[in-house]
Amino acid sequence: MKSSKIGYLINEGFKSILTHGFMSFATVTIVIACLVIMGSFSLIAVNISAMLDELEASNEVVAYVEETLPEDEARALQDDVEYISNVSTAQFVTREEAMEEFAAQYDDDTLFQDVEASVFRDRYVIYLEDISLMAQTKADLEGIPGIAKVNAYLEVAEGFVTVRNVVSAVSLILVVVLVVVSIFIMANTIKLATYSRREEIAIMKMVGASNWFIRFPFVVEGLVLGLLGGALGFLLEWGIYDVVTNRIMTGLMGNLISVIPFASFSTAVLAVYLGVGVVVGAFGSSIAIRNYLRV
């Protein structure tokens, strides 16, 4: 294949974007709209998931050591505790530290002056990998000789698991529905754009153009429009995300929830947007004109 021919076909693709300005505009707009709607829902889901992670991580389990064990033996249980697979971190807390911590919760220092540290027990403050396995981990901890009692908020953990499952299911369904709707809309836009060109395709066939010769400029055109839609969609998404998160952070809810800054996943979002743009543009136009090539 001569490079001049490829150059001509690429040039034809670009020219066609300009000569069919309105259709190009419509296609890019639809791609942007679909990407931003899909992307926004996905980003909301990602944020909710991150918030749940944070809340889950703060959900601790406390394992109390037998009162009769001296401190060195109590410390020696660390390995046994950490050996349990679901344990993420286990921090040993002495009775004295526990008392100080307890006393610190109250303003009046004199209140606990006479209290002996011995009324407290040595303990491990444990954070879990997966809070849905909390009940099992609690049982495992209780099975360790030297551990007297394990305090775990099973109901809270179950509540988190339920919320997470519901959020995951809802966001998955929403994203899938939006993806399907978006593909349908984009396919139809491309079909509409190529429908007006069927006469042109018929003329090309009549002159003896091979299928790839006809398809090539369309693919170039679709590729460029898809990339343009992806890039502009990304910028728009970025803007919307920043505006919305700023509102949230400076508003009343700012203390309650934290949002992930856009920069931390901007590369991934850009890659997905451009990827979707390329696939939809190139394959979409290629498939859409297939019907007109059968002459």
Partner 1 sequence: MVRFENVSMVYPGGDQRAIDDMSFTIEDGEFVFLVGPSGSGKTSIIKLITGEVEANAGELWVNGFDLRHIRRGKIPAMRRTIGVIFQDFRLIEDKTIYDNVAFAMHVVGATNKDIRRRVPYVLDLVGLSGREKRYPREISGGEQQRVAVARAIVNSPQLLIADEPTGNLDPARSLELMLLMDRINEMGTTVLVVTHEKELVNSFSKRVVAIEDGQVISDGMDGYYSYEIE
Class of residue 17 by CB neighbours under 10 A (exposed 0-12, middle 13-18, buried 19+): buried
Examine residue 5 and tell whether it contacts partner 1 (CB under 8 A): yes
Position among 53, 96, 101, 199 found at the interface with partner 1 (CB under 8 A): 199
Examine residue 202 and tell whether it contacts partner 1 (CB under 8 A): yes
- Residue 78 burial (CB count, 10 A): 13
Examine residue 10 and tell whether it contacts partner 1 (CB under 8 A): no
Instruction: Single out the residue of 78, 66, 25 nearest to residue 225, CA to CA.
Output: 25
Of the CA atoms within 13 Å of residue 163, those in its CB half-sphere come to 16
Examine residue 191 and tell whether it contacts partner 1 (CB under 8 A): no
**Quick one: 117 or 295, whose CB is closer to partner 1?**
295
Examine residue 210 and tell whether it contacts partner 1 (CB under 8 A): yes
Examine residue 283 and tell whether it contacts partner 1 (CB under 8 A): no
Examine residue 127 and tell whether it contacts partner 1 (CB under 8 A): no
Examine residue 2 and tell whether it contacts partner 1 (CB under 8 A): yes
Position among 75, 191, 198, 205 found at the interface with partner 1 (CB under 8 A): 205
Instruction: Single out the residue of 251, 234, 290 nearest to residue 42, CA to CA.
Output: 234
Examine residue 252 and tell whether it contacts partner 1 (CB under 8 A): no
Task: Provide the minimum distance between the beta carbon of 184 and partner 1 in the complex, in angstroms, as a whole number.
Answer: 28
Residue at 270: amino acid letter? L
Site residue total, partner 1 (CB under 8 A): 19
Position among 209, 240, 249, 287 found at the interface with partner 1 (CB under 8 A): 209
Applying CB under 8 A, the span of 88-96, 199-207, 231-239, 269-277 interacting with partner 1 comes to 199-207
Can you state the percent helix, strand and coil of the chain, rounding each to 5?
75, 10, 15
**Residue pair 35/279 in contact by the 8 Å Cβ criterion:** no
Lay out the sheet containing 147-151: strands in order across. 87-93, 123-128, 60-65, 147-151
State the residues that interact with partner 1 by CB under 8 A. 2, 4-5, 8, 19-20, 199-200, 202-210, 213, 295
